[in-house]
Amino acid sequence: MSEERALLRQTVAALIDRHAPPESVRQAMDSECGYDRRLWSMLCDQVGAAALVVPEEFGGAGGELADAATVLEELARGLVPTPLLGTTLAELALLGADQPDREALERLASGAAVGAVVFDRDLVVNGDIAEVVLAVEDSRLLRWDEFSAEPLVSLDPTRRLARLEPGGVTVIGTDPGIGDSAAILMAAEQVGAAARCLELTVEYTKQRVQFGRPIGGFQALKHRMADMYVAVQTARAVVGEAIAQPGPTSAARARLAAGESFCAVAAEAIQMHGGIAITWEHDMHLYFKRAHSSLRLLGPLSDQLRRLESEVF
């Protein structure tokens, strides 16, 4: 990781520590818009989170996909609700258009507007709060000039989802691979959340005492946490490769590896926390819900598997 990207991660982490502790996350996910507007403004103004992938000529920071992945990974560690994922994908879609919409890009980059990209009309991230909506369909990029949104009750209360139907639709170009970028960014989120599950589990097993000693000292639990560590680090390596060399194959590998790792680690974390993990007051059940909810987003996993068939057969 470059020095600049490491500083970006530290800055985002500091903002989260100060302004998005677990109790603030609970308040944000229950709010009308589903995120903390004040924190979102700070992320946009102080970090430029929404501007990272947008070139400077369109009012952005001129960064790379890796920069957005770094911020999303850090936000996912705390399950901090923000419209960053959908907005970043909308920016990438607009940039892939034959004639990029400068005004829309500037509004998205500044955080003044929220974006969304439709891969599955029934499960759209940011769908009910988005102002700029695009879609990928039959290798084409579509701009939804008008649309209706039906908010959904999501398994994961930290991520807003909606069912969208288009009104006026305009073809704006050929899909440059927005699905691949979406898979990579989602995978970065999953790695961040899985890593935090492991950290919380290690902390808990050091504190929970049975038979006069912390349960983290029991050999069986040590082995299970070692397996969790391997799962997280393996997924991190695969996702890191995809970020460095994005493409259909690397994106598919990243999405599958990160999704499997997150689900496995979250399940183990639930088991090792015991009954407290499934109480509403504890955060671990939120990670478990995020793990399984994320698998259904951005199109079916079967699409990712088909991309890997050529490597196997």
Q: Is the four-CA dihedral 130, 68, 293, 79 of positive or negative sign?
A: negative
pLDDT of residue 104 exceeding 60, the answer is: yes
Per-residue confidence band for 204, with pLDDT thresholds at 50, 70 and 90: confident
CATH class held by domain 179-312: mainly alpha
Segments making up each domain of the chain, as ranges? 3-176, 179-312
> What distance separates the 2 farthest-apart alpha carbons in the chain?
68
Residue 300: its pLDDT value, please? 67
pLDDT digits (tens, 9 = 90+) for 232-284: 999 999 999 999 999 999 999 999 999 999 999 999 999 988 878 888 888 89
**Percentage of residues of the chain with pLDDT beyond 70:** 96
Average pLDDT of 66-81? 96
Residue 208: its pLDDT value, please? 75
Per-residue confidence band for 311, with pLDDT thresholds at 50, 70 and 90: low
What CATH code is assigned to 3-176?
1.10.540.10
Please state, as a whole number, how many other Cβ atoms lie within 10 Å of the Cβ of residue 296.
16
Average pLDDT of 185-190? 97
Q: Is the four-CA dihedral 270, 198, 285, 236 of positive or negative sign?
A: negative
**Percentage of residues of the chain with pLDDT beyond 90:** 77
Upper half-sphere CA count for residue 283 (Cβ side, 13 Å) = 21
Residue 18: its pLDDT value, please? 93
pLDDT digits (tens, 9 = 90+) for 13-36: 999 999 999 999 999 999 989 999
Per-residue confidence band for 213, with pLDDT thresholds at 50, 70 and 90: confident
CA distance 139 to 179: 10
pLDDT of residue 146 exceeding 60, the answer is: yes
Average pLDDT of 127-148? 94
Please state, as a whole number, how many other Cβ atoms lie within 10 Å of the Cβ of residue 167.
9
Q: Answer whether 140's CB lies under 8 Å from 171's CB.
A: yes
Average pLDDT of 110-114? 95
What's the residue count for the chain?
313
Per-residue confidence band for 210, with pLDDT thresholds at 50, 70 and 90: confident
pLDDT of residue 313 exceeding 60, the answer is: no
Q: Strands, E, within 49-181: which ranges?
A: 115-118, 124-125, 132-137, 140-144, 147-151, 161-166, 169-174
